[in-house]
Structure 1
């Protein structure tokens, strides 16, 4: 009886429990250390399956999530959960509205990989211009490039069109200008930074740009932002670059546009679906630079991401408002599961 009593009251079982739905890097040591310093325990889900997450969420005080879906049924299974923290910028894998109804604070980390993603967008542009994919494939197959049709493209003087101008879009501007690209931007708010040309509409940007690079979140309003009509508005020599979210682009429409020569190529770090099926026709194309959603990743960015996401969890567990709340309405809601004070 004494052993049972001591087990129920052991520090390990009374410490706040944080469920990590999935980890997209080799180790959870950084976030585990941040949480341990605050007296919390990290539990990493083995598979990220929804049924498994619902079971593990039953005694979770907080949820950390990267790519795994956190739908209403997982949130409903977590009666103690006070916060859902995203490892990353977009929160389209979380049912934010339902979390708000339940009184859970949802947070993200919007600035951890600005340089990495801007570098990756520039890399995609350079790889398309210098025809990196067909040349490296030819050399790997024993050739020496002379059998690869077409020529590379001079970038100086061409136009980069930015759709969205958040931190990553802004970081891409000086990189693009350094290689001689002119920059024009379109934002739904209508505003752009001083010194950056503004397109009056998305269609205007698509008609003018030699490269279109996407830098907006995925929402109901931006899903398939680039579809058949938008692709048809682009130059036949233009390229599409997507380092944001796969769902921004209608994949079938993009494939059809590439096949028909409506546009000249694409550089994609994100796709819809993701991952692409092994036999998907976008794989293996010489006019597509395809990477597996790794634009965000570097040794520095991953450590920063883990530290900041875990820090957002600690803030809520210790009664503070995180720096980056996605659903601020919850802070004044009667449903809020614990009182929070500003820093």
Structure 2
């Protein structure tokens, strides 16, 4: 029986994937895995039993990923599960940037009409103050062409917008999904100089913190609008405020509330609505559950932010999973221990990521006591962080 603990409200459609005969939910303080959304785990000690954390969302800045890695805890996220929700919100704000829809509605609602007034005629007389522009032919720059950025680029192009994309690390799979009519630029400054709108979609890391700062904003048109639906610190808010107040930036829209950005006529602040749709929460919960089930039942790692993706068909009676320091001779050391116990290896795969490595070893062995003895021996090996044995589950994980 696997023990799963939850933080935050996780959509039932995801939790239903944990079968009652194999999983217990919130029954212990020593879970095998945790599934969460926004709960901050930085001050929470990890129990020795914890093997995995699944974030029902893309960002993992609420999880101490480095500490988890050092303790052999695999951290998963759900890339792409909320991409459509964020895409639609960005597109909605593109329309709001060129058409004063909200302002027009507020004017009509608050105009001091008198009883008997011809409301329609009065509104017609005043509508010129809410004239806007069209998006067709405007230039949009998308910084970061991951799951969200690629969707925005493709759909904006279909709206008749001229789209420019910047991502020096774009994956092959993403590259295939992006319309050939989206212009790829090799330098960020080039994109900033020509675009009327710039939207940022990169993860928050040390290398991206303050990625859009004074220098970058200085490259933009004075009429351009900057969007941040990724993470607040990616954009230097002080640089934004200074540029807007100096009339060097047309507007800023962010999905991350900050007291310093409130009540400014050229800044729109949203309460982190990007993934706040029923569909996105369900998709994230289902993918997070699938990630955990696959890992706990087969040892496979997919969508991890701290360990390499490793998958291998599970056809043997037992599988051993190992997390260890990524140093020379670890594979030979592991193989020697297995051979010394007269156990045959039927299949093996090893992948490294930075300072750590992950290994799956399938064993042609039916004797449970020999496998348990092997686990005890491997746990004594220097630089081995975590070892576990998985008996063939019979039924495999459900695909997301």
Measured against the shorter chain, the TM-score band is: 0.7 to 0.9
CA distance in structure 1 between the aligned counterparts of 2:128 and 2:30, rounded to whole angstroms: 59
Segments of structure 1 that go 5 or more residues without pairing to the other structure are: 1-14, 45-55
Matches within 5 A, 1:242-253: 242-253=228-239
TM-score (normalised: structure 1): 0.79
Partner of residue 295, structure 1: 274
Worse-superposed segment, 207-216 or 112-121: 112-121
Worse-superposed segment, 32-41 or 308-317: 32-41
SS at structure 1 position matched to 2:35: strand
Partner of residue 34, structure 1: 17
Please tell me the root mean square deviation across aligned C-alpha atoms, in Å: 2.8
Q: Is 1:164 matched up with 2:164?
A: no
CA distance in structure 2 between the aligned counterparts of 1:155 and 1:38, rounded to whole angstroms: 54
Q: Is 1:336 matched up with 2:305?
A: no
1:185, 1:197 within 8 Å by CA — same for their partners in 2?
Answer: yes
Matches within 5 A, 1:1-343: 15-23=1-9, 28-37=11-20, 39-43=22-26, 58-71=29-42, 73-74=43-44, 76-142=45-111, 146=126, 151-189=131-169, 193=178, 194-269=180-255, 271=256, 275-276=257-258, 280-327=259-306, 328=308, 329=353, 330-332=357-359, 334-339=384-389
Partner of residue 9, structure 1: none
SS at structure 2 position matched to 1:157: coil
Change (3 A) 1:306 1:214: same
CA distance in structure 1 between the aligned counterparts of 2:21 and 2:54, rounded to whole angstroms: 16
CA distance in structure 2 between the aligned counterparts of 1:186 and 1:78, rounded to whole angstroms: 41
What does the per-residue CA deviation read over 1:245-271, in whole Å, with 9 as the maximum and x for residues that have no partner? 2221112222222222211112222x2
What does the per-residue CA deviation read over 1:288-341, in whole Å, with 9 as the maximum and x for residues that have no partner? 333221222323222121111122222222233143122224524821353579
Change (3 A) 1:251 1:113: same
Change (3 A) 1:82 1:190: closer
SS at structure 2 position matched to 1:257: helix
What does the per-residue CA deviation read over 1:26-55, in whole Å, with 9 as the maximum and x for residues that have no partner? x642333222446223339xxxxxxxxxxx
Alignment length (residue pairs): 305
Instruction: Please report how far the alpha carbon of residue 232 of structure 1 lies from its aligned counterpart in structure 2 after TM superposition.
Output: 1.7
1:241, 1:266 within 8 Å by CA — same for their partners in 2?
Answer: yes
Change (3 A) 1:128 1:337: farther
CA distance in structure 1 between the aligned counterparts of 2:64 and 2:80, rounded to whole angstroms: 22
Change (3 A) 1:228 1:39: same
TM-score (normalised: structure 2): 0.69
